[in-house]
């Protein structure tokens, strides 16, 4: 499946901005299941960008605007090809897999995706309550699937309930939020259970007559590490395995590692308008 993604961020400033330094993560990754076919970015006011790869393997572009401006517009257009096979429901939790899951080497290797962060931290009583509801399942794959279904059932998708600053401990109390909130809560529970899990930022292709939600802007979901298989995507917002409708942009421990656009500027307050369009590509 091929997709074209147009992602446009427009900052409107109250006063003239004297200068700004910005960092963007808008270039999709390439891996075994996803291939970046083309990418172009337009910045207004015009600025040259420098690119590097961060510690998580994401493309990061930085640019500096020295002149005064009231509006900053960053538009990225990408074409990606995705080929994934759904199989997590068919996986058996073998004795060999169990041995690896509980090994010290496995734990040490994936430590960044096992430790809580400011965004994914949960109180112990919250973790215990969720585990009681989900069930104390020894099989980490089945536990992750059950947890995904549980969050889908008890959470209400609400774009007004939280902000990008909301932490998992708050959104779990509310049981409301957007994909970022579902994902942070699921990460917090999985990591507390010793299951390596990472934050996935990207896009969701909804298509026609689909029940999937989360395509209005960037989407977020979870990936768990399965020994012998690799990273497997789970989308608690939609209670589905993340396969060929999910386009990966960046990965990290939580939202702080993958924020699409960050910047520092001299000036007053601002508002941000985000437009995302995902369509099938025939290139």
Domains and CATH numbers, the chain: 2-82+259-280 (2.60.40.2250), 88-258 (3.10.620.30)
Q: No. of H helices and E strands in the chain?
A: 7, 15
16 has pLDDT over 80: yes
The tens digit of pLDDT for each residue in 221-249 reads 999 999 988 899 999 999 999 988 999 99
Q: What is the 3-state secondary structure (H, E, C) of 44-82?
A: ECCCCEEEEECCCCCEEEEEEECCCEEEEEEEEEEEEEE
Provide φ and ψ at 216, rounded to 5°.
Answer: -70, -30
209 has pLDDT over 60: no
Higher per-residue confidence, 194 vs 211: 194
Residue 8 and residue 75: Cα distance in Å, rounded?
4
- Kindly report the average pLDDT of the chain as a whole number: 91
Report pLDDT for 86: 66
283 has pLDDT over 80: no
Residue 16 and residue 267: Cα distance in Å, rounded?
6
Q: Residues 40, 230, 198, 130: what is their CA dihedral angle, to the nearest 10 degrees?
A: 140
Query: What is the full DSSP assignment across 151-183?
Result: HHHH-EE-TTS--TT--HHHHHHHTEE-HHHHH
Averaged pLDDT, 122-130: 97
103 has pLDDT over 80: yes
The tens digit of pLDDT for each residue in 73-91 reads 999 999 999 987 666 666 7
Residue 3 and residue 245: Cα distance in Å, rounded?
9
Please enumerate in sequence order all residues whose Cβ is within 8 A of that of 234, keeping only pairs 6 or more positions apart, or say none: 88, 144, 145, 148, 186, 221, 222, 223, 224, 240, 241, 242
The tens digit of pLDDT for each residue in 33-64 reads 899 999 999 999 998 889 999 999 999 999 99
Residue 182 and residue 186: Cα distance in Å, rounded?
6
Report pLDDT for 63: 92
Burial class (CB in 10 A: 0-12, 13-18, 19+), 137: middle
Averaged pLDDT, 59-74: 91
């Amino acid at each position: 499946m091929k997709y074209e993604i147009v992602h446009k961020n427009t900052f409107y400033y109250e006063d003239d901005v004297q200068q700004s330094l910005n960092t963007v993560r808008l270039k999709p990754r390439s891996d075994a299941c996803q291939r970046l076919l083309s990418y172009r970015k337009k910045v207004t006011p015009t600025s040259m960008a420098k690119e590097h790869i961060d510690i998580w393997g994401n493309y990061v572009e930085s640019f500096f605007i020295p002149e005064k401006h009231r509006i900053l517009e960053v538009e990225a257009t990408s074409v990606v090809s995705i080929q994934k096979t759904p199989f997590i429901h068919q996986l058996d939790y073998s004795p060999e897999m169990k041995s690896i899951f509980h090994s010290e080497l496995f734990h040490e290797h994936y430590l960044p995706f096992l430790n809580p962060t400011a965004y994914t931290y949960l109180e112990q009583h919250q973790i215990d309550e969720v585990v009681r509801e989900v069930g104390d399942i020894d099989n980490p794959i089945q536990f992750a699937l059950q947890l995904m279904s549980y969050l889908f059932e008890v959470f209400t998708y609400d774009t007004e309930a939280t902000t990008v600053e909301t932490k998992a401990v708050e959104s779990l109390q509310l049981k409301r939020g957007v994909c970022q909130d579902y994902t942070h809560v699921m990460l917090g529970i999985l990591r507390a259970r010793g299951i390596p899990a990472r934050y996935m930022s990207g896009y969701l292709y909804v298509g026609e007559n689909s029940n999937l939600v989360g395509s209005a802007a960037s989407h977020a979901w979870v990936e768990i590490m399965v020994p012998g298989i690799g990273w497997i995507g789970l989308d608690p917002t939609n209670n589905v395995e993340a396969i060929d409708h999910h386009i990966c942009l960046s990965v990290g421990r939580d939202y702080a590692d993958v924020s699409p656009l960050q910047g520092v500027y001299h000036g007053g307050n601002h508002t941000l308008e985000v437009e995302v369009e995902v369509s099938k590509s025939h290139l």
